[in-house]
Structure 1
Amino acid sequence: MTTTVHEPTTTAAAQPTTLLDDYRPATDRLIATPHHTLLGHGTLAELPHDETPLTTRVRNLLDEARRRTGERQPIVLGALPFAPDAPPALAVPEHVRRAPALETDPLIALPVPITGNAADWQVREVPAPEAYSAAVAAAVARMRAGEFDKVVLARTLELTAPHAPDLPAMLRRLARRDPSGYTFAVPTAPGRTLIGASPELLVARRGANLTANPLAGSAPRSADLAEDVRRAAALLESPKDLHEHAVVVAAVREALAPFCRTIDVPERPTLVRTAAMWHLSTTVTGELIDPDSTTALDLACALHPTPAVCGTPTAVARQVIAESEPFDRGAYTGMVGWQNAAGDGEWVVTIRCAEAEGNTLRLFAGAGVVAASAPEAETAETGAKFRTFLNAVGAAL
């Protein structure tokens, strides 16, 4: 189930693959959703990092952009990090071009060749699989002792090559691999680009209507059709995954209900698939009590971080993550998206992603750990999630 979101004010529509082809790192910001494709060129103004509440800063930035340019509905594009006190990477572009959804363009089916080969990449796992499994086992023991209910633990792959990666080609391969998902490439710091293809909508707002689509509970796809169907059916009946999913959906409902006149949450999840994974999915919809004062980003901030990327209780899960992960998540498991001056927008959970800087790519993948988790299975799940990006890069684990 999808929802239509107000289009930002932009120039005349182009073909989606044209915008993909025109993307340039460092200066451009591209976000493609199941509804449209947005390409922002240049930077009119960046969101400051100060003590003012985030949503107030965004409102002020868009109001100032409207005064300076006369644009009726300027938009802000970019990413927000996992840590609430880390600097944002949001900006109003100088110029925005739009196109329909990627999957509407027949040219999206054309392959993008991979230059080079897997041997070009040096791959370092952080932490190593054995250390990650040990961290999962330690978290499971603490949950069985009643300390907390769930934590999402991540690991990274650091890929280094003799040359800087071809980010435009990588973006095109990601978009073609899952054209019905959420593909993005935005600068997060000077010389650093966040690039990825997320399957998960955090929240979208159009006028008084909102949609959230939490995903939790996963299984890797199989190239064998019969095995692939078996894995999907098993996921739908898995007590461990259904419990993990129910925890996330309950948290989403609790966070959104205060903003809503009505809210609809299906009783059972359905399945969504990407090229690499099956996911349990629930589409939550609602009608806002006061759309004039509740923006898409207000809703996203009320939701972030969901148990799907952090855990529950949130404060304890954050502490366990800090103790267990030997790296800074940065933009990973934050949110990426857009919002216009009317408050409409789409914010996506930043997963299936990497940060590119110089000759290095840093890939991220995580797994939801509950008391019934098996360390080996969670380690294998992160390996399967890495496949989305490894295939786009032409590397192997």
Structure 2
Amino acid sequence: MENETLELGVPLGNGSANQTLLGKMPQYPLEVQVVTILLVLLICGVGIAGNVMVVLVVLRTKHMVTPTNCYLVSLAVADLIVLLAAGLPNISDVVASWVYGYAGCLCITYLQYLGINISACSITALTVERYIAICHSIKAQLLCTVSRAKRIIACLWLFTALYCLMWFFLVDISQISFSDGAQVSCGYRVSRNLYMPIYFLDFTLFYVIPLGLATVLYGLIARILFMNPLPATPHSMKLSCRGNKSVTKMLAVVVILFALLWMPYRTLVVVNSFMDPPYLNIWFLLFCRLCIYLNSAINPIIYNLMSQKFRAAFRKPLAVLWPLCGRCEDSSSDHRHRTSRKRSRATLRPHYPLCCPDCAT
């Protein structure tokens, strides 16, 4: 399992201590190793590819550069950090001890919390931007701009980067020697009563406040969009309202999934702060981690399912990256030409495979 800073609030002990124990080195059960490796590879692979696509299509498509999408790019980068710093190290850690050394322990821990906290900040900023854009449309012309969104994102990253610096001083590696080898782990260098207040501060700043604010603001947005429709509005205003509803539904789903997928981890941290010994069921710990990784991987799928613009933007790089598409097209077209040679060439329409919907353009 990955760096113990994501071990749900349960350190392995004093990180700076070296111990010697009799007996064999403990190992994870084989079924836990297999399930962990398969699911983490699947979730992280899909999540990394999806979030990279989000960043690329927004940055390379001019009409996609909007204030809302700027926050989605920030969220995608944060999710990439979580998948790379928390998800992938889990694969090596589940079959061996900590292999990244002291510097890796510090840096990976820092990046984990940076990505986790930035994702919460990005969702909060996105919620506020949507509220202003819909409920205060006149002010939005001044406040909801791309340049302002970029400045806000820069401030959020700077604040979170400075806030997370404390983790450089809270973790360390420890080594426990067994009769058949040594087990190295990355854990806390401080006692439980010192790091638990930090967890509760994180819980409040990056979970309770974002969700509380999102609940209130999306309630106000829903009242404007769904409960108080404007009578006899022009066609252009109806289209704009329909677009706002679509975007709002998509972002509300993102917030709901954020709340649900982080709930097992956050709840267990709170529960374990009052339990001695803490609850450490190995399958439930794995479930909590997978929920965290899934939260960082699922957003691009939501965008693709619920946004026409993202679907269209995703198709273009996929068509370029699909190397067999051209061969499929040529082969299919030649086959149709041979089997219908008696037809007029002017009436023939080449068959384009489903793998490449933009090949015909």
TM-score by length of 2: 0.25
Larger Rg over CA atoms: 2
Higher helix share: 2
TM-score where L is the length of structure 1: 0.24
Give the structure with the larger strand fraction.
1
